Amino acid sequence: MNNTSYTYQFIVMTLIIVSSCQLKTSNENNNIVSLKSLSNNLDFNSKIDSILELMTLDEKLGQLSQLNNKGDQRIDSVTIDAIRKGEVGSLLVNRRNFYSFEERDFYQKLAVEESRLGIPIIFGHDVIHGFKTIFPTSLAQSSTWSPDLVEKGAEIAAKEASAQGVDWAFAPMVDVARDPRWGRIAEGYGEDPYLNAVFGAAVVRGFQGSDMSSPNRVAACMKHYVGYGAAVGGRGKQFTDISDRTLHEVYLPPFKAGIDQGALTVMTAFNDINGIPATAYTYGIREVLKQNYKFKGFVVSDWDAVKHLLWHGIAADTTEAAQLALNAGVDMEMKTIFYKKLKDALKDGTVSIEYIDDAVRRVLYVKFKLGLFDRPYLEKDNTKEIFLSDAHRKEARKMAAASMVLLQNNNNILPVISPKAKSIAVVGAFAKETDVMGWWKSTGQFEDVITAFDGIKSNAPKGINITDKVTASTDYIIACLGEPSKFFGESRNRADIRIPTDQVDFLKSLQKYNKPIVLVVFNGRPLDLTSVTDFAHSILLAWHPGTETGNALADVLFGQHNPYAKLTASFPRSVAQLPTYYSRRNSGNPQGNKYIDLSGEPLFPFGFGLSYTTFEYSLLEIEKNKIPVNGELKLSAMITNTGSKEGTEVVQLYVRDLVGSTTRPIKELKGFQKVNLKPGESKKVSFTLSTKELSVLNKDFEPVVESGGYHVWIATNSTKGLQGKFEIIE
C-alpha cells in the first residue's frame, strides 16, 4: 500500500474518531481519574493497588487483551472504541512498517486522555534481530560466541524500535533446537542450553538496560515457553514428548537465565508439553516460572494460542479456553478477545477475581517499570538520525563478519589476496540478493541492504576487478548460494535440508573453469552440505547477515576480518541422521551411535569453525585433581597461534560426569573464552568452574553436585581438545 493511501486512511480514521468523540457524553470526561496524582507519591505496588481499586471488571479484562492491526491496515474503529473505553492493554504491530510516529501517539492519546483511568497502552512488535538496521539472524549471532556483540545489537535494535514507539520486543527466542528441519531453529541460539542462556540474557541486557524506564529501552520477552523446539519431526507447532529430565535440564534453563536477568515478559509456546498445551501449562507457568523462578512480569500467549486450546482438544468452547489459560497463569491474550468471556467464568466460579487481579497487577507493573505512566508519548521524532546510522551499520557489519563460519579452506585459498587475484567473479543466486535479512526483518527494507556483489565490489583491494560473470581471465569464483528467507522461519519446516538442486547444479557447472571456488552459503538453518563440499575449495557460512551483508562478506573474504565463528548447532550429514547433537547421552552401547549405511556423527560438529591461521592447544593443567563438593575447579591450557596471521580462537570448556545417579551426556559445554593471538604468540587460557555449575538433578529431581570422577576438556570444538580428569569428593 503506498503512502498516499496511508495518509488517506489516516485522515478518514481521524474523522471517524473526532466525530465519535463529539458524541461522547460529558460525564465520561468528568470520570477521568488523573493517574498522575497517583504516580508521584506512591511506590509501584501502592500505585498498582490504588489503580486496581478504581478499575471496573471490563477495564481489568481489557488490560489482559493485546489486539493488533488487521494485516497491513490501521487498527479498526471497533478497536479504537475499545481503546477509548480503556479496554485494550496492548497493541501488537505485525506488519512490515510500524505505526507512523504520529499514529502511535494518536492511539496512545485515546487511551491516556480519553479513557476513564488513562492507563497507557504497551505497544509490542517482533524485534528479533534488528528494527530498521537488521543484524544477522539469531542462530548466526550465536556463532560469534560473543555475548557483548549480541548485547550491543539488541541495544541498537531497542534504540531504533523505541524511537518509533515500540515499548516491548517479542524476543529473545531461546528455544533450544536440535532438529534443523524446524524452520525456527534460525531464530534461537542453537542446540545447547548453556549458550541459549548466555545469549538470551545478553539480549535482555541489551533491550532493557539497567534502567528500563529510560528512552531507547524496550521490555524483553522470553519465548516460547516451553519446549517449542522439540516439536516432533521438526514440524513446528506439533506435539512434543519431553521427559521431565530433558524439560528441566535442556528447555527450561535459558528461560531461568532470562528471568534472572530481569526479563519483564514471557510468551507461551504453541506446542503441548506431554499432553498439556503450553498456554494451559499451570505447572510450568504458576509453579516453575512464577513461584520457583520468582518471575514478577507478565506472561502473554502466542498469537491465537488461547484459541488453539480448542484445536489441541482440551477446551470445549472459548470461555473454557480463556478460563484454562488464565488459571494456568497466562496474564495477557494475544490477538483473540476470549478473555472478555472471563466475566462468565467469574460468574460460574471457574476463575477467581484474585487470579484476574494478579494478572492485571503484573501488566501494570511492567507498564510502570517501562515508565509508560510518566512518559506515554514519543517525545520527539529522532528516527532520521537514529535509523541506519553509520554507527548502527558499523555494528551490524562487525557482527555479520563475526558470525560467518569458515567450514572449509582447502589450499588456503582464502583470504583472497590481490597478488593471486586480479579478477574475481561473484556469481550465484545470492550474489545480488537483497532478501538476506532472515524471516523476522521487522521494518528492514531490501533497498537498504548491501548485496554480496556490491559489498565485494566496493571493498575490493586496488587492482582486483570484480565481475558478475565467469570469464577466461577470472582468477577466483565466489559462488553465492543458499536457502531463501521463505525456506525458514515460522511454519517453514523442510524435509530436505540441502541447498536447492538447481543451485548445486550451478556450482557443479563452475568446475569446468578449473579455478579456485569459494562457496558462500546463505542459510537460516543448519544444512546438509554433503552435496557441495567436493565442489568448492572453501566454504564460508554467511547465514542471512542482514543490512550489511556485502560489506561484512568482503571483510571476511579479503581478510580484514579473520573468521573465528563456530557452530552452535550441528550440521548433519543427512536429514536421515536427525536428531544429531553433541551432548547426547552415552547409552549402553557407545559404538551404537551409527547406522549400517551412515555415520552417527555430524558433517560439521558443534563448536567447529576454521580460521585463516592455525592454533595449537598444549600444557593442560588442572590445579587440583580432587575438589570438595562446594569447591571449584581451576584449569588452564596454552594456546599458540601456529599460523602466519593474527587470529582469534574460541576456546571451549566441556565436562562429563563419568558416573552419575542418572546417565549423563558425554559432554556438556560449561564455559568459553575468546583469545586473540599474533602469529607465533602463546597465551595461557584459564577457567574456574565452581562445582555448583556442575549441579544436576538426581533421579528424584533434586539439584545435587555429584561426587565421583569427571572428564574435562579445553577444546577447539566438541570433538577435539585436551582431556583431563578430576574428582569431586564428599
Cβ of residue 443: shortest distance to ligand GLC, in angstroms? 14
Are the C-beta atoms of 651 and 673 separated by less than 8 Å? yes
Cell 566441556 belongs to residue: 654
Q: Which residues are catalytic?
A: 302
Cβ of residue 94: shortest distance to ligand GLC, in angstroms? 5
**Using the rule CB under 6 A, is 182 a contact of ligand GLC?**
no
Cβ of residue 128: shortest distance to ligand GLC, in angstroms? 8
Residues between 55 and 114 that touch ligand GLC (CB under 6 A): 94
**Using the rule CB under 6 A, is 303 a contact of ligand GLC?**
yes
Nearer to ligand GLC, 337 or 520 (CB): 337
Amino acid at 20: S
Nearer to ligand GLC, 184 or 561 (CB): 184
Cβ of residue 116: shortest distance to ligand GLC, in angstroms? 29
**Using the rule CB under 6 A, is 170 a contact of ligand GLC?**
yes
Which of 249, 272, 302, 706 is the binder for ligand GLC (CB under 6 A)? 302
Contacts of 303 (CB under 8 A, 6+ apart): 94, 334, 335
**Using the rule CB under 6 A, is 167 a contact of ligand GLC?**
no
Residues between 475 and 534 that touch ligand GLC (CB under 6 A): 490
**Using the rule CB under 6 A, is 235 a contact of ligand GLC?**
no
Residue 285 C-alpha cell reads as 507457568
Quote the CA–CA distance of 515 and 476 in Å, as a whole number: 6
Cβ of residue 181: shortest distance to ligand GLC, in angstroms? 17
User: Would you give the distance in Å from CA 363 to the centre of its chain?
Assistant: 23
What is the three-class DSSP state of 575? helix
Strand ranges for 90-213 from DSSP E? 90-93, 122-125, 168-169
Quote the CA–CA distance of 75 and 68 in Å, as a whole number: 7
Count the residues of the shown chain that bind ligand GLC, applying the rule CB under 6 A: 7
**Using the rule CB under 6 A, is 126 a contact of ligand GLC?**
yes
Nearer to ligand GLC, 94 or 282 (CB): 94
Residue 129 C-alpha cell reads as 534481530
Q: Any idea what DSSP says for residue 58? A: H
Cβ of residue 260: shortest distance to ligand GLC, in angstroms? 22
Contacts of 66 (CB under 8 A, 6+ apart): 89, 90, 91, 92, 124, 300, 332, 333, 334, 335
Quote the CA–CA distance of 612 and 413 in Å, as a whole number: 10
Nearer to ligand GLC, 95 or 109 (CB): 95
- The length of the chain is 730
Q: What share of the chain is helix, strand, coil (3-state, %, to 5)?
A: 35, 20, 45
First to last CA, the chain: 69
Residue 14 C-alpha cell reads as 481521524
Tell how strand 720-729 and strand 333-334 pair up: unpaired
Which of 205, 217, 223, 667 is the binder for ligand GLC (CB under 6 A)? 223
Cell 574460541 belongs to residue: 650
Nearer to ligand GLC, 117 or 231 (CB): 231
Cβ of residue 295: shortest distance to ligand GLC, in angstroms? 18
Cβ of residue 492: shortest distance to ligand GLC, in angstroms? 12
**Using the rule CB under 6 A, is 381 a contact of ligand GLC?**
no
Nearer to ligand GLC, 335 or 584 (CB): 335
Are the C-beta atoms of 553 and 520 separated by less than 8 Å? yes
Nearer to ligand GLC, 325 or 675 (CB): 325
DSSP assignments along 661-702, one per residue? SS--BS-EEEEEEEEEE-TT-EEEEEEEEEGGGG-EE-TTS-
Nearer to ligand GLC, 333 or 706 (CB): 333
What is the three-class DSSP state of 118? coil
Residues found near ligand GLC in the complex (CB under 6 A): 94, 126, 170, 223, 302-303, 490
